[in-house]
Amino acid sequence: MRALLFRDLRLAMRAGGGFGLALAFFLILVVMVPFSVGPDPVLLSRIAPGVLWLGALLACLLSLDRLFALDHEDGSLDLLATAPLPLEAVTAVKALAHWLTTALPLIVAAPVLGVLLSLPAAGYGWLVLSLLAGTPALSAIGTFGAALTVGLKRGGLLLSLLVLPLYVPTLIFGAEVARRGAEGLPIGPTLALLAGVTLATLALLPFASAAVLRINLR
Amino acid sequence: MPEIGVRHETMSIWEYANPRKFTATATRLLPWVAWAAAILTIGGLIWGFAFTPNADRFESTVKIIYVHVPSALMAINAWLMMLAGSLIWLVRRHHVSALAARAAAPVGMVMTLIALWTGAVWGQPMWGTWWAWDPRLTSFLILFLFYLGYMALWAAIEDPDTAADLTSVLCLVGSVFALLSRYAVNFWNQGLHQGTSVPVATGGRSVADVYFLPLVACMVGFGLLFVALVLARTVTLIRTRRLAVIEMKAVRA
């Protein structure tokens, strides 16, 4: 398992692995927001938590179609499927690698981008915490979507169509935690719901991902 | 005491898993269901539109309820039917079941659209807006997105069995997330939409008898319409697949 994780991390870091691409996308998206809604700091600070959450979510979506596609093309996915490691663990490790290479940099960058959107000072900690609690679910759901579309030649757009509706609960709770944090409102129940969704997703979705991967490798 | 080794000829629902038997029965039933649906829906609509008084505060806009409530009901039931069909396919591998789930999706999607559209038409004069981010409206929009994704996945995969498997798993996972979204959305915003008019679970109702009877006619009519459309579409899908097999044989010969 560890070997697989390190292999995926190395592949992502190498040139052409797309590491940092999601980060650049996140940056550009956030920079474009004031251009579209105007530079008014009051408006920006009000929409900042939601924009940052949406940006992180879309950036997570970017690298999903590479999750299994390359392994599928060169046949290493078939090797993984026949390896002693259960496929459920493979999908879980893949989700973890995706989270480490895509979501974690976004979380680190989010406070910096928060400055650009004049996020209120109280909001930074909660923004990071909400992203930490929510993005693992995004990676796990995305892994499911990637496993679902791995056999398709042009799965990219379809992947977004399938995955985005599944992101709705996480987005609602995550952005709500960030917003309440920024406005100084109580957080507890919302954060608990967000973490609950994430934990349930992490516990159950690897099985669904492995099931659809088996169907696709048949 | 029953004799051992003799199969008793009891009718079982699983006999309709045989596509031939299903097609035969469905084609025999179809005219009856279709006519019953047409009579009930058209009758209920005429009854509702022309022969019920206008409600005090709502005036004539209340009459959209005869389309709105039945279509909303079928929008959800269609998804439940797809869920049942997907489960049966995953557990028992009956092709008819997977095809019936596939057949129900566009019907359910259109029902969702009708519910959203009639709701907007009613909301404009009553709430003063075509659209509000009300929990019920929002969750219907999300349901619509789920229908889109499900149908797109069916359309994208060539191998029919793989497509059936993958869409079935998507339907299961999607159901959980659709339900989750329903409650998340509830939490997220308080709504304008009133409570259900016909709470089946409690047996009570908030609609007066004059409106209730034509509404029931329309609801049953829409239900039968859904059944008729799904039967017709399932039979078409079975025949399309059979045709593909025949063509394949002809090409190879």
Residues 6+ apart with CB under 8 A from A116: A30, A31, A34
Selecting from A151, A161, A168 the residue whose C-beta is nearest the C-beta of B142 gives: A168
Q: Out of A162, A190, A211, whose CB is closest to B149?
A: A162
Per the CB < 8 Å rule, is B157 touching A218? Answer: no
Q: How far is B151 from chain A (nearest CA, A)?
A: 10
| Closest residue on chain B to A212 (Cα) | B166
Question: pLDDT grade, residue B198 (50/70/90)?
Answer: low
Higher pLDDT, A202 or B15: A202
Best A162, A177, A202, A213 residue to mutate vs chain B (most B CBs within 10 Å): A162
Angle between the A156-183 and A41-62 helix axes, to the nearest 10 degrees? 140
Please state the rounded mean pLDDT for residues B57-84.
84
More confident residue, B187 or B244: B244
* Residue A212 touches chain B, beta carbons under 8 Å: yes
Q: Which residues contact B239 (CB under 8 A, 6 or more apart)?
A: B23
Q: What is the 3-state secondary structure (H, E, C) of B162-206?
A: HHHHHHHHHHHHHHHHHHHHHHHHHHHCCCCCCCCCCCCCCCCCC
**φ and ψ at residue A21, rounded to 5 degrees:** -65, -45
Q: What is the reported pLDDT for B57?
A: 60
Kindly state whether residue B134 falls inside one of the protein's structural domains: yes
**Host domain of residue B47:** 30-252
**Chain B CB contacts of A168 below 8 Å:** 142, 177, 181, 184-185
Which residue has better confidence, A14 or B50? B50
E strands, A46-121, in order: none
Residue B174 lies in a domain: yes
Q: For B36, list phi and psi in degrees, rounded to 5.
A: -60, -40
CATH of the domain at B78: 1.20.120
Average pLDDT value for residue range A22-35: 86
pLDDT score of A184 more than 90: no
In chain A, % of residues over pLDDT 70: 97
Residue at B68 is within a domain: yes
* Beta carbons of B98 and B168 less than 8 angstroms apart: yes
Q: Give the total number of structural domains in chain B.
A: 1
Count of residues making up chain A? 218
Structure-token match 């930490």, residue found: A132
Most confident of A148-152, A153-157, B63-67, B97-101: B97-101
Within-domain flag for B20? no
Q: Which residue of A has its CA nearest to B161?
A: A215
Question: Which of B193, B167, B188, B203 is closest to B82 using CA atoms?
Answer: B167
Closest by Cβ to B177, choosing from A169, A176, A211: A169
- Mention every residue, 6+ apart, whose C-beta is less than 8 A from residue A175: A49, A50, A53, A54, A130
Distance CA A149, CA A158 (A): 8
% of chain B beyond a pLDDT of 90: 32
Q: Does residue B15 lie within any of the structural domains?
A: no
pLDDT band at B1 (very low <50, low <70, confident <90, very high): very low
Q: Which of A149, A161, A169 sits opposite B181 (nearest CB)?
A: A169
To which H or E segment does residue B56 belong? none
Provide mean pLDDT across the span A156-173: 89
Spell out the domain ranges in chain A: 2-216
Q: Judge whether residue B56 has pLDDT over 70.
A: no
Share of chain A above pLDDT 90, in %: 9
Q: How much is the mean pLDDT over chain A? A: 84
pLDDT at A44: 85
